[in-house]
Amino acid sequence: MKAKPLAEQVMVITGATSGIGLATARMAAERGARLVLAARNDEVLQSLCDEINAAGGDAIWVAADVGAQEDVRRITMQVMERFGGFDTWVNNAGITAYGSLEQIPLADQRRLFDTTYWGVVHGSLEAVPHLKQYGGTLINIGSIVSDVAVPLQGPYSAAKHAVKGFTNALRMEMDSEGAPVSVTLIKPGSIDTPFPQHGKNFLDMEPRNPPPQYTPELVAEAILYAAEHPVRELYVGGGARVLSIMSTLTPALTDRLIAKRMPDLVRSQQAARDMSLNSLYGPGEDGAVRGGHEHVLERSIYTRAAMHPGIKAALWMGLGAAALALLAAGGRRTDERYQEYEPEGTSAMDDLPPYPPITATGAI
């Protein structure tokens, strides 16, 4: 299928009041797209639409909890009433919880799935009938944890794995039907958004995103690229792609590295806030794109190259070499025989080297 130019599109964006969703809404409006913005915080939604319309854009808002199917159906009703249809639907809303799988109550895990997984399902199944008839693009926001699970965000990792499986299956069904629907999965790495502040925290310290962190605008660029260029999936941040390759090549060693490093990387130096300050069950403090973290990368050579097929092959070779180099730094022992070479009385992790320092010039 051939997508319309963005300036001729009507785009639906969920989770539009902070972070990636907010960055995407503003960027899409600047490029001429007409917008239907959805989130739970109606006050911030209205303010955002007023901002866009005052600048010459065309945006409406719908207060909706994507975990409720009837709310998502209301989004469809509003977009049909105002614009008569849509060209791109972006399922972006998501929420997390920090803590071990034993710490996070099952009720909180189910609520997390309501938004992060079922919100994608509800939005996709609302969008697909219209897109099959008129053509268009469905964009689901996954994560690097769609490929590589991380400790202390187990339910979120599981939800994003589920988003990946659902999206891939839906894409295959559209292909088998010959439907004029592009289905894209965006997999951001660590992004500088207020995401940690919105999650429910069971840790002893305030959570943070691990390095390397990239700007939300890079994800917005990838989303808008997918709206105009049918593509299967896009990673945002070379660090995310390298980690995915490592996990594919040597999953056991990668698991060990993440298990040892991630618990420290996800904890900041700040004392934990009151646990009640979160957005798991209702809207929180919205309206910010950035999370205010330090050492944020403003560009990604990998992501820019991935959106230009002419240099993608060379990039793949470079990423493969980088992944192999990182794995080689962990020792020559294979994952399957790791325990066989471990001297008695020592830990298999004791002799692993630290991660190399991450700098703006050295990151991919």
What residues contact residue 134 under an 8 Å CB cut-off, 6+ apart? 85, 87, 180
Q: For 169, list phi and psi in degrees, rounded to 5.
A: -65, -40
Task: State the angle between helix axes of 118-134 and 69-83 in degrees (0 to 180), rounded to the nearest 10.
Answer: 30
Q: Coil, strand or helix: which one is 311?
A: helix
What residues contact residue 27 under an 8 Å CB cut-off, 6+ apart? 217, 220, 221, 224
156 an active-site residue?
yes
As a whole number of angstroms, the distance between CA 67 and CA 72 comes to 8
As a whole number of angstroms, the distance between CA 247 and CA 253 comes to 8
Q: Coil, strand or helix: which one is 237?
A: coil
Write down the catalytic residue from 98, 117, 134, 156.
156
CB-facing half-sphere around the CA of 245: CA atoms within 13 A = 18
How does DSSP classify residue 93? -
Give, in order, the Cα–Cα distances in Å from 292 to each of 208, 223, 315: 10, 22, 30
Q: Which residues pair with 14 in a beta bridge?
A: 38
As a whole number of angstroms, the distance between CA 167 and CA 188 comes to 15
What residues contact residue 60 under an 8 Å CB cut-off, 6+ apart? 35, 36, 37, 49, 78, 79, 82
Residue position matching structure tokens 């992790």: 349
Distance of CA 255 to the CA centre of its chain: 20
As a whole number of angstroms, the distance between CA 315 and CA 157 comes to 27
CB-facing half-sphere around the CA of 84: CA atoms within 13 A = 2
As a whole number of angstroms, the distance between CA 147 and CA 211 comes to 17
DSSP letter string, 141-186: E--GGGTS--TTBHHHHHHHHHHHHHHHHHHHHHHHHT-SEEEEEE
Which residues are known to be catalytic? 156
